[in-house]
């Protein structure tokens, strides 16, 4: 499509957008009396209007039923988490039995590593990407130390080539082959939080299995953003937060994937609790753990219902729209944003360097942009004008136009504000 940098053209794209009506299903903060242009769905998604209704339902049931809400609420609490399985499985490309919701992201990664990081003999190393999200770095280092290893030896980081902004798949595969039988686990972020690069999860998973390692993925920036086929790719495990592209609210519950080949295995190590116990026998209070035959066996405590309610509200919309439609809108709106940036770049002295891959198959709903010649003053100006974006040192802004609620006119308007901020400094 031949884009145009005009308000009329942007509005034309919005009229053609099949999911534009969902914008009204979200609540926008206001700056200077106007809805903000919201580019940080990769950090915290906007609140769905339906979220309050779902929370209020729980509050009403608690008030009227108290403990009986576990069994007699319209959405009974004891099996509340089961309402996520089929819908969430569609988002991540899994079987319903392979998906559950529990805890928060780093907690779940720690718990999953009990099952999937089992160093023994010379097989003890973990392969990850350099400069992974800090929480992953802390988590992996602490796991290695817990098992008695030195992180400087046991953690192998895949690096970018000098002068390049993104990882090369061939370098990732080569490093996996090089570490070989010393590798116990490959654990990488499916979408790099800084650049927005999407890793080739299928090829990397296959390479990890070829050397006898487990392969897991942190999908914090991937779930609800890109096409995932966790079952088809034979991924061992994965976890993701729900508050970014999935709009569940700050710090909310995490989703987990555990490949069905590990279900009902008696010999797999796992931290256990009563919510992972056989559902039909859970309230018999038996002394011996009898695991569920699904990913729910990794549950420990009973579900945080109030926290999960907004997640369910958002997930209902994902189920209505479907990932194919979201990805189609995502590709077009990110491409239009990219076009607008290049057009503005022609009119100003600054140089924008987009460090996110150009190939749509290698990026999701994010463009990370070096603002050469600009400082944080420009970011501050954008925020004061109601453009909510994200600054990363030394001079990168991350722009994530979430397809559920961002419009093409937002992209045009952002370009005009950006241009004015640079020319009038």
Residue 30 makes CB contacts below 8 A (sequence gap 6+) with 36, 386
- The share of the chain scoring above pLDDT 70, in percent, equals 100
Tell me if 325 sits within 8 A of 56, measured CB to CB: no
pLDDT at residue number 369: 94
Tell me if 329 sits within 8 A of 156, measured CB to CB: no
Domains along the chain with CATH numbers: 7-48+322-423 (3.90.1150.10), 53-321 (3.40.640.10)
pTM score above 0.85: yes
Give phi and psi for 352, each to the nearest 5.
-90, 130
**Mean pLDDT in residue range 128-134:** 92
Tell me if 129 sits within 8 A of 188, measured CB to CB: yes
Tell me if 124 sits within 8 A of 183, measured CB to CB: no
Write out pLDDT tens, residues 230-265. 999 999 999 999 999 999 999 999 999 999 999 988
What is the DSSP annotation of 339-366?
A: HHHHHHHTTSSSEEEE-S-SSGGGB-S-
pLDDT at residue number 125: 98
Residue 11 is given by DSSP the state H
Res. 32: pLDDT tops 80: yes
Res. 375: pLDDT tops 90: no
pLDDT at residue number 285: 87
pLDDT at residue number 348: 86
Q: CA 272 to CA 301: how far, in whole Å?
A: 9
Q: CA 53 to CA 57: how far, in whole Å?
A: 6
pLDDT at residue number 145: 98
Tell me how far CA of residue 164 lies from CA of 57, 160, 396, in angstroms. 51, 6, 15
* pLDDT tier for residue 395 given thresholds of 50, 70 and 90: confident
**Cα four-point dihedral sign 184, 189, 192, 193:** negative
pLDDT at residue number 1: 83
Distance of CA 107 to the CA centre of its chain: 15
Write out pLDDT tens, residues 42-61. 999 999 999 999 999 999 99
Tally Cβ neighbours within 10 Å of residue 370.
17
* pLDDT tier for residue 361 given thresholds of 50, 70 and 90: very high
**Mean pLDDT in residue range 170-196:** 97
Tell me the angle at which helices 201-210 and 169-179 cross, rounded to the nearest 10 degrees.
Answer: 10
Instruction: Provide the mean pLDDT of the chain.
Output: 95
Q: Cis (ω within 30 of 0) for the bond into 56?
A: no
Tell me if 236 sits within 8 A of 230, measured CB to CB: no
Residue ranges with strand state E in 17-139: 26-27, 30-31, 34-35, 37-38, 47-48, 99-102, 125-129
pLDDT at residue number 206: 98
**Mean pLDDT in residue range 211-219:** 98
What is the DSSP annotation of 76-92?
A: -STTGGGGGHHHHHHHH
pLDDT at residue number 266: 80
Res. 425: pLDDT tops 80: no
Write out pLDDT tens, residues 145-161. 999 999 999 999 999 99
pLDDT at residue number 130: 94
Tell me how far CA of residue 35 lies from CA of 26, 29, 107, 117, in angstroms. 11, 6, 35, 46
Write out pLDDT tens, residues 281-323. 888 888 899 999 999 999 999 999 999 999 999 999 999 999 9
Cα diameter, the chain: 72
Residue 162 makes CB contacts below 8 A (sequence gap 6+) with none
Tell me if 130 sits within 8 A of 119, measured CB to CB: no
Least confident interval from 29-33, 76-80, 130-134, 294-298: 130-134
pLDDT at residue number 372: 80
Tell me if 366 sits within 8 A of 39, measured CB to CB: no
Q: CA 27 to CA 350: how far, in whole Å?
A: 34
pLDDT at residue number 267: 86
Q: CA 161 to CA 168: how far, in whole Å?
A: 8
């Amino acid at each position: 499509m031949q884009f145009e940098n005009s308000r009329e053209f942007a509005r034309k794209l919005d009229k053609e957008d099949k999911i534009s009506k969902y914008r009204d299903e979200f609540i926008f903060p206001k700056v200077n009396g106007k809805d903000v242009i919201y580019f940080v769905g990769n950090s915290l998604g906007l609140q769905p209007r339906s979220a309050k209704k779902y929370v209020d339902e729980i509050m009403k049931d608690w008030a009227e039923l108290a403990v009986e809400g576990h069994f007699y609420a319209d959405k009974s609490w004891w099996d509340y988490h089961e309402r996520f399985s089929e819908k969430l499985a569609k988002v991540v490309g899994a079987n319903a039995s392979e998906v559950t919701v529990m805890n928060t992201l780093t907690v779940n990664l720690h718990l999953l590593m009990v099952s999937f990081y089992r160093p023994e003999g010379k097989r003890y190393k973990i392969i990850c990407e350099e400069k992974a999200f800090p929480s992953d770095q802390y988590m992996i280092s602490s796991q290695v130390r817990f098992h008695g290893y030195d992180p400087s030896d046991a953690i192998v980081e895949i690096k970018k080539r000098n002068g390049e902004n993104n990882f090369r798949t061939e370098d990732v595969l080569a490093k996996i082959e090089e570490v070989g039988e010393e590798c116990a686990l490959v654990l990488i972020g499916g979408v790099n939080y800084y650049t927005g690069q999407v890793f080739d999860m299928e090829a990397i998973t296959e390479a990890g299995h070829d050397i006898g390692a487990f392969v897991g993925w942190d999908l914090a920036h991937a779930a609800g953003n890109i096409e995932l086929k966790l079952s088809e790719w034979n991924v061992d495990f994965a976890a993701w937060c729900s508050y970014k592209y999935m709009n569940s609210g700050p710090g909310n519950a995490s989703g987990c994937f555990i490949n069905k080949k590990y279900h009902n295995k008696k010999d797999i190590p796992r931290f256990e609790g009563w919510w992972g116990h056989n559902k039909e026998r859970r309230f018999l209070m038996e002394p011996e753990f009898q695991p569920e035959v699904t990913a729910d066996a990794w549950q420990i405590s009973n579900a945080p219902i109030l926290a999960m309610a907004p997640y369910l509200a958002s997930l209902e919309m994902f189920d209505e729209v479907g990932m194919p439609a979201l990805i189609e809108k995502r590709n077009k709106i990110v491409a239009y944003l990219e076009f607008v940036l290049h057009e503005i770049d022609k009119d100003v002295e600054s140089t924008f360097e987009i460090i996110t891959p150009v190939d749509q198959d290698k990026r999701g709903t994010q463009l990370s942009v070096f603002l050469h010649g600009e400082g944080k003053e420009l970011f501050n100006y954008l925020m004061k004008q109601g453009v909510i974006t994200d600054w990363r040192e030394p001079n990168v802004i991350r722009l994530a136009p979430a397809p559920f609620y961002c419009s093409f006119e937002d992209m045009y308007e952002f370009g005009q504000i950006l241009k004015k901020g640079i020319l009038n400094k």
